[in-house]
Amino acid sequence: MLQGKSVIVTGGSRGIGAGISRAMAKAGADVVVNYFNENDAEYGQTDGIEAVVADIEAMGQRAVAVEGNVADPETGHKLVAAAVDAFGKVDVLSSNAGICPFHAFLDMPVELMRQVSAVNYEGSFMVSQAAARQMVAQGHGGAIIATSSISALVGGELQSHYTPTKAAVHAMMQSVAISMGRHGIRCNSIMPGAIMTDLNRDVLTGTETAEYFQKRIPLGRYGTPDDIGQVAVFLASDMAAYVTGASILVDGGMFVNLQ
Ligand SMILES: NC(=O)C1=CN([C@@H]2O[C@H](COP(=O)(O)OP(=O)(O)OC[C@H]3O[C@@H](n4cnc5c(N)ncnc54)[C@H](O)[C@@H]3O)[C@@H](O)[C@H]2O)C=CC1
Ligand SMILES: C[C@H](O)[C@@H]1OC(=O)[C@H](O)[C@@H]1O
């Protein structure tokens, strides 16, 4: 579905981003895999930048690892330059990088709130802008897929700094879809539910929240990074040729299951 496409994935070395990177490669794309602050040993053998690059190459696709903090305005330009240097173009951006350091509201340090906003919202904005500029210059359209969240639609007691950034990413895609439509660039967001990754493994394992989530998910299981990767491939592909400004909940039915 993505044969010959050039894809950039931010936060592509672990978790959902690793699932997206692998799914894009399996669909035939070459991938620039962005990562930041990685200590691969910390994340075991299945994830980490080296494992993801090796898996992509084992599928017969090209992979380029690019370290960079998406909150740094230069990183978006670095990622685009890496894709153009290695693959000659940018067709798809998966703006996935994000952090969620759980913290109570009342004693949350302003610095933490600002860091989460800088990475999750501002970082997504800047990388999307850099990729869109390249796509417009290329003149043959493209696709931008932002990883928002079920948390764009609901709250979390320990996520008062986080949920607004997920809503912001969703709202940004809706607006960017309007201005980029004339360039044939489709912009959509994915809203994952509870996906077992490093970001929330502690929350989703052996806690009251874990028990509650398990009861709330009609499909009876947490999502996997590949569950998100498959939807990202769909949104990147010509199967979604008339889909822009949209968001897709990928949550096993969690959001609708109030009672
Ligand atoms: N895990 C979940 O249940 C859900 C996650 N999400 C979103 O999915 C995205 C990925 O989350 P997970 O895979 O769970 O997280 P993770 O912690 O497992 O992986 C995060 C990835 O982002 C990278 N990263 C972190 N900070 C970065 C920065 N400043 N610049 C560039 N890369 C950076 C890391 O290197 C890593 O590759 C995030 O945007 C998160 O908000 C949304 C809904 C649910
Ligand atoms: C970090 C959370 O556990 C996870 O990420 C989100 O965006 C949702 O809040 C999920 O529960």
Q: The domain spanning residue 180 has which CATH number?
A: 3.40.50.720
Local confidence band at 198 (pLDDT 50, 70, 90 cut-offs)? confident
pTM of the predicted protein model? 0.97
Full domain range(s) for residue 253: 6-257
Q: For position 13, what pLDDT does the model report?
A: 95
Q: Check: CB of residue 151 under 8 Å from CB of residue 195.
A: no
C-alpha dihedral sign at 231, 3, 45, 75: negative
In a domain? residue 227: yes
Q: For position 251, what pLDDT does the model report?
A: 98
**Burial class of residue 103 in the structure, from the number of CB atoms within 10 Å of its CB (0-12 exposed, 13-18 middle, 19+ buried):** middle
In a domain? residue 28: yes
pLDDT for 124 beyond 90: yes
Q: For position 165, what pLDDT does the model report?
A: 98
Q: Check: CB of residue 173 under 8 Å from CB of residue 148.
A: yes
Q: For position 202, what pLDDT does the model report?
A: 87
**How many A from CA of 199 to the centre of ligand 1?**
7
- Span 61-87, pLDDT tens digits: 999 999 999 999 999 999 999 999 999
Average pLDDT over residues 187-210: 93
- Span 150-196, pLDDT tens digits: 999 999 999 999 999 999 999 999 999 999 999 999 999 999 999 99
Mutate to test the pocket of ligand 1, among 8, 9, 13, 14 (most ligand atoms within 8 A of CB): 14
Q: Determine if ligand 1 sits within 6 Å of the CB of residue 217.
A: no
In a domain? residue 41: yes
* 202 or 56, greater pLDDT: 56
In a domain? residue 1: no
Query: Is 35 among the catalytic positions?
Result: no
- Span 215-231, pLDDT tens digits: 999 999 999 999 999 99
Q: For position 46, what pLDDT does the model report?
A: 65
Mutate to test the pocket of ligand 1, among 197, 201, 202, 231 (most ligand atoms within 8 A of CB): 197
In a domain? residue 125: yes
Q: Determine if ligand 2 sits within 6 Å of the CB of residue 158.
A: no
Rounded distance, CA 146 to CA 15, Å?
A: 15
Query: Is 166 among the catalytic positions?
Result: yes
H/E run at residue 47: none
**Residue listed under structure tokens 């809203």:** 191
Sheet holding 92-95, edge to edge: 63-67, 30-35, 6-9, 92-95, 142-147, 185-192, 247-250
**Domain count for the chain:** 1
Q: Which residues contact 46 (CB under 8 A, 6 or more apart)?
A: none
Q: Determine if ligand 1 sits within 6 Å of the CB of residue 65.
A: no
Joined together, the tokens standing for residue 82 give: 């890496």
Rounded distance, CA 220 to CA 215, Å?
A: 7
Instruction: Output the residue whose Cα is nearest ligand 2's atom 4.
Output: 194
- Span 10-56, pLDDT tens digits: 999 999 999 999 999 999 999 999 999 776 556 555 689 999 999 99
Q: For position 203, what pLDDT does the model report?
A: 87
Query: Is 121 among the catalytic positions?
Result: no
The closest-lying atom of ligand 1 relative to the alpha carbon of residue 18 is 37
Task: Find the radius of gyration of the CA atoms of the chain.
Answer: 17
Q: Check: CB of residue 61 under 8 Å from CB of residue 9.
A: no
